[in-house]
Amino acid sequence: MIRMMPKTATQHKTAGPYSPVLEVKGTNLVFLSGQASLDMEGNTIGDTIEEQTRITMEHCIKQLKEANCTLDNVVEVTVYLADLSEWDRFNVVYRDYFTAPYPARTALGVQLLNNFKVEITMRAIKDE
């Protein structure tokens, strides 16, 4: 296992799908630039936070695959949301993609380009 939460680590009961602290092992770092809900022509696709989150996560999976990684290799995620009131709806979709121990995660409310509702960056570690 590449990522693991220390056995004594704890977090508040309202925590979302993330680990408060994460130990990682591996030798190669993989960094994903911000991924968003775009088609190959650069057009924004998806009208809801749920649609855009799924498409964005699928783009992340595709980019990770290019580096011979999966979501299991991801150790840290940064989420940029255009509307923080959509946080809970974002998390419903996000939970479908990761299993515990979850990657460490930070979320920010920001102004995004092109009618994006969400943009995601990831850092992964692979053992080679």
Amino acid letter, residue 58: E
**Which sequence spans correspond to the domains of the chain?**
16-126
Which residues fall within 8 angstroms of residue 104, CB to CB, at 6 or more apart? 18, 19, 20, 21, 22, 75, 76, 77
pTM for this predicted structure = 0.84
Taking only the tens of pLDDT, the chain with its 128 residues reads 667 777 777 765 666 677 767 676 777 888 888 999 998 888 999 999 999 999 999 999 999 999 889 999 999 999 999 999 999 999 999 999 999 889 999 999 999 998 999 999 999 998 76
Question: Domain 16-126 carries which CATH code?
Answer: 3.30.1330.40
Kind plus residue range of the DSSP H or E element containing 3: strand 3-4
